Structure 1
Amino acid sequence: MSKIKNKIKGIKSHPSYNKLLYWGKSISITALSQIVVQGLAFLCGILVIRLLPLEEYALYTLANTMLGSMTMLADVGVSNGVMAQGGKVWQNREKLGAVLMTGLYLRRRLAFWSLIVITPILFYLLMHNGASWFTAVLIVLSIIPAFYASLSDNLLEIVPKLHQDIYPLQKNQISVSIGRLVLSALLVFIFPWTFVAILASGIPRVIGNIKLRKIAYNFADESQKPDSIISKDLMTIVKRVLPSSVYFTFSGQISIWLISLFGTTMALAQVGALGRISLIFSLFGAIFGFLIIPRLARLPNEKHILLKKYLQTILFVLVFYTGLAIIISLLSTEILWVLGDKYSGLEYELTLSIIGFCVSTFAGVSFSFYSTRGWIIHPIIVILVDLSAVVSGVFIFPISNLKGVLEFNIYVASILCLMNFLYSLIKIKSIKI
């Protein structure tokens, strides 16, 4: 017994013990809360899939895709800039407040142009896919609450993430997820319409956004005004990111665009339903966003440290997602049963959808790494590489059916993944320290 106690004492006295204990607690707490959040989101998604008629779910998929495009167009690098700038002053409440207020100010300006560009496109695609004029207007109006909340959500989250004050953030996310599930269950069951489902999701986000502001302002001074110097630094990033961000606003959801324009309403609903399965993968993405990205942003600009941390992160992501993709592929029949009879027989398509999501996530990890360092690939290079992939993919794959579009998506994502990975390595190698 004494030998065992001595061994335990020896382990506790090891220099790495406290570090491992801290990471173990952080990951387990974050994982547990995200299991709840993503589990509730998954249930909400399945509920909407089952309650909405196939034609309505096709419109729901289209509206949510356009909401994501609007959010991207209202950001164009602002959140990356706030993370990069905030990582330098995260211990100073006034300076961090100035960074946050500047970021929010720029977001509001960009949101106006986002609405001007995306709203007419969404309206046209809704009408093209069978929505009446009145229904299209209701759907467009219903996305406003969620869009309003999205303007500040991820900027406000940066503050507690930098301070690793994760618990209040997770508590707020859980309450929002519960609100979405309850409202969806009550409203969509009675009114199985697209605009009702979108409102049921957007209203809890607005309430959660109000609570999120209180969490962020514990560490950032809300009385600070937008700073011209910070704004100039952020705009430097925005101007470099803007062309590629505008381009990727439209190409990032290329599978939805292609299906909505050249495919059928059924195929559009199917690709949206299969995409819901990717919420299973969002657990790790959330852990990565909470714990890893803020720490990568805070790392010193030293070559050997960055290279080691980057390769460790990439290896972990690769192993984790490959294993999870294999498991989901083996259980594809059982998973499709959860979606309902309308989506049965799509085992191969589900596997393709999951592979595409994994490759896109891998590319996103590299992008998150170098963007939080303030490194930006020249937009012309990004656009040319992606455009070449898209154009060649259109000729290689049959984009008028679901299988072809999913294979096309994997092809394009793989090329972007390789580009982001190589760029990260090149930038790390270029550091002289």
Structure 2
Amino acid sequence: MRYFKKVTSKSITSNYWAWGKLVGITGFAQIVVQGISFLSGLLLIRILEVDEYAFYTIANTLLGTMTLLADGGISKGVLSEGGKVWKDRNKLGIILATGLDLRKKFAVVSLVVCIPVLVYLLIDHGAGILTVVLVSLCLIPAFFSALSDSLLEMVLKLHQDILPLQKNQVAVALGRLILLLTFIFFVPYSFIAILVAGITRIAGNIRLRKMVFPFADFHVYPSAEVRANILEMVKKLMPGAIYFSISGQITIWLLSFFGNTTSVAQIGALSRLSVVLSLIMVLINTLIIPRYARLRENKNILIKRSFQMTVIISLIIIAFLLIVFLFSNEILWLFGNDYKGLSFELLLCMGGVSLDLISGLFFSLSSARGWVFNPVISISISILTIVIGAILFDISNLMGVLFFNVFLAGARIFIQGGYLGYKLMTLN
């Protein structure tokens, strides 16, 4: 019996109870997932030497960029198309097959572009040839597993079959921690941590396919019509994907190119606390965005739901930042002696992450409805803010880069929030 189905009861109490169960179980599972991920991160911060942790941070940043470029808006296109036919197993399978086929093609280009950048940055920060080769090779399994898991998960999210999805994510996180505990003490190198993440994600994807099979037919071929619809979305989103693949991790990019190895390790360690906020984004993308994509085109309902989510997320973020401010020394103690004395830097880092979470919410709400801001306009405004920020702040040190990131995150809220508001207000 499925735990989660569309709520059809006319009783308001039953409606709230169903939502409470959804949020409660999903929230608990994600607390476990993010808690395990945080423990894995702490383990790496404490075990790896500063330079090895810097290599790990650079590789993870490139992994995020590679994945974003290989997607280029494909996942948004699959969500938008899948939201129209999510009850039809055959049609949903065709959309999934088309999305996976496109991602494989985009992945080749992404690898060709990003691997040379990874090699350059690793060598620039003192990595030996053997380290460069091992890190690059170990990154590939994690990259290819990331190509399919988000699309497979989307099928389960559209059907709100959440419990198996949460179990799989818990298993992947737990498997990663167990493998790290098994190997990292004896082989304390960055490439081991990267390889472990890739292996566990591949295992998780194998289980995901079995879960998705009842909802999407795998014995179908990509559709030219669906490909054209998805590529139409990609054309709108790809310029932004290229831009945000850089700007989304701009603090690490700037320190990787202009800062020293210690600063790279510090920003990587401080960013670890963002797993707390990523829990919120996972809940939004799992429970809210798929349902938002399925809402009928009703102006009042869409405005109401958008406003509710913005207020709730803002209140949670304020509470989170207050906790970081009050207990920054205790949090930094967890990271070890190499990172003590960075209390204000930690607050700045989490402030930038918090603002990015809100802008990400606005972007997800817009794209779920198929609304894409003209990339020429949005990127032009963003580049202008980058130029202004680079003039105002010193981007060669950790503090200056963190202020710079907060400034850019505020600009992204203005762009994404303004566009979402415009589209909502102009609905008929």
Fold shared, TM-score > 0.5 on shorter chain: yes
Classify the secondary structure of the residue corresponding to 1:376.
coil
Classify the secondary structure of the residue corresponding to 2:42.
helix
CA shift for structure 1 position 244: 1.7
Classify the secondary structure of the residue corresponding to 2:207.
helix
Which whole-Å deviations, capped at 9, do the CAs of 1:253-293 have from their partners, x for residues lacking one? 11111101111111100000000011111221111111111
Q: In the alignment, is residue 62 of structure 1 matched against residue 61 of structure 2?
A: no
Identify which of 399, 412, 423 aligns with 2:419: 423
Classify the secondary structure of the residue corresponding to 1:400.
coil
The 1-side partners of 2:336 and 2:182 are apart by 20
CA shift for structure 1 position 14: 8.7
Which whole-Å deviations, capped at 9, do the CAs of 1:410-430 have from their partners, x for residues lacking one? 100100111111100111122
Q: In the alignment, is residue 363 of structure 1 matched against residue 359 of structure 2?
A: yes
The 1-side partners of 2:232 and 2:304 are apart by 29
Q: In the alignment, is residue 279 of structure 1 matched against residue 275 of structure 2?
A: yes
Mapping for residues 13-92 of structure 1, pairs under 5 Å:
15-92=11-88
The 1-side partners of 2:133 and 2:375 are apart by 35
Instruction: Identify the residue that residue 5 of structure 1 maps to in structure 2.
Output: none
Identity among equivalent positions (%) equals 46
Against the structure 1 CA distance between its residues 301 and 256, is the aligned structure 2 distance closer, same or farther, given a 3 Å change threshold? same
Q: Which amino acid aligns with 2:101?
A: Y
Q: Is the 8 A contact 1:183 1:201 kept in 2?
A: no
Q: In the alignment, is residue 297 of structure 1 matched against residue 315 of structure 2?
A: no
Classify the secondary structure of the residue corresponding to 2:184.
helix
Which whole-Å deviations, capped at 9, do the CAs of 1:106-145 have from their partners, x for residues lacking one? 1111001000100101110110111112211110101011
Identify which of 125, 128, 146 aligns with 1:129: 125
The 1-side partners of 2:202 and 2:12 are apart by 42
Classify the secondary structure of the residue corresponding to 1:91.
coil
The 2-side partners of 1:127 and 1:101 are apart by 39
Q: Which amino acid aligns with 1:371?
A: S
Identify which of 378, 390, 404 aligns with 1:382: 378
Instruction: Identify the residue that residue 395 of structure 1 maps to in structure 2.
Output: 391
Q: Which amino acid aligns with 1:399?
A: I
Classify the secondary structure of the residue corresponding to 2:381.
helix
Q: Which amino acid aligns with 1:396?
A: L
* TM-score normalised to structure 2 length: 0.97
Q: Is the 8 A contact 1:102 1:225 kept in 2?
A: yes
Q: In the alignment, is residue 330 of structure 1 matched against residue 326 of structure 2?
A: yes
The 2-side partners of 1:14 and 1:179 are apart by 42
Mapping for residues 406-417 of structure 1, pairs under 5 Å:
406-417=402-413
Q: Is the 8 A contact 1:187 1:200 kept in 2?
A: no
The 2-side partners of 1:253 and 1:28 are apart by 31
Q: In the alignment, is residue 156 of structure 1 matched against residue 138 of structure 2?
A: no
Q: In the alignment, is residue 229 of structure 1 matched against residue 229 of structure 2?
A: no
Q: In the alignment, is residue 99 of structure 1 matched against residue 95 of structure 2?
A: yes
Which whole-Å deviations, capped at 9, do the CAs of 1:171-221 have from their partners, x for residues lacking one? 111110011001111111111111111111111111101111111122001
CA shift for structure 1 position 15: 3.1
Q: Is the 8 A contact 1:296 1:369 kept in 2?
A: yes
The 2-side partners of 1:329 and 1:160 are apart by 38
The 2-side partners of 1:112 and 1:103 are apart by 15
Classify the secondary structure of the residue corresponding to 2:71.
coil
The 2-side partners of 1:253 and 1:382 are apart by 18
Identify which of 91, 97, 117 aligns with 2:113: 117
For structure 2, which runs of at least 5 residues remain unmatched after alignment?
Answer: 1-8
Q: Which amino acid aligns with 1:164?
A: Q
Identify which of 215, 222, 225 aligns with 1:219: 215
Classify the secondary structure of the residue corresponding to 2:185.
helix
The 2-side partners of 1:247 and 1:29 are apart by 36
The 1-side partners of 2:164 and 2:239 are apart by 36
In the alignment of these two chains, the number of paired residues is 420
The 2-side partners of 1:333 and 1:14 are apart by 50
Q: Which amino acid aligns with 1:341?
A: N
Classify the secondary structure of the residue corresponding to 1:190.
coil
Instruction: Identify the residue that residue 4 of structure 1 maps to in structure 2.
Output: none
Which whole-Å deviations, capped at 9, do the CAs of 1:5-31 have from their partners, x for residues lacking one? xxxxxxxx9931011100111111011
CA shift for structure 1 position 251: 2.1
* TM-score normalised to structure 1 length: 0.96
Classify the secondary structure of the residue corresponding to 1:281.
helix
Instruction: Identify the residue that residue 310 of structure 1 maps to in structure 2.
Output: 306
The 1-side partners of 2:427 and 2:279 are apart by 33
Q: Which amino acid aligns with 1:241?
A: L
Q: Is the 8 A contact 1:293 1:368 kept in 2?
A: yes
Q: In the alignment, is residue 210 of structure 1 matched against residue 202 of structure 2?
A: no
For structure 1, which runs of at least 5 residues remain unmatched after alignment?
Answer: 1-12
Instruction: Identify the residue that residue 372 of structure 1 maps to in structure 2.
Output: 368
Question: Alpha carbon RMSD of aligned pairs, Å?
Answer: 1.0
The 2-side partners of 1:241 and 1:284 are apart by 24
The 1-side partners of 2:410 and 2:383 are apart by 13
The 2-side partners of 1:206 and 1:348 are apart by 38
The 2-side partners of 1:221 and 1:195 are apart by 37
Runs (4+) of structure 1 exceeding 2 A deviation are: none
Which whole-Å deviations, capped at 9, do the CAs of 1:39-64 have from their partners, x for residues lacking one? 10000000011110001000100000
Q: Which amino acid aligns with 1:155?
A: L
The 2-side partners of 1:283 and 1:153 are apart by 18
Identify which of 255, 261, 267 aligns with 2:263: 267
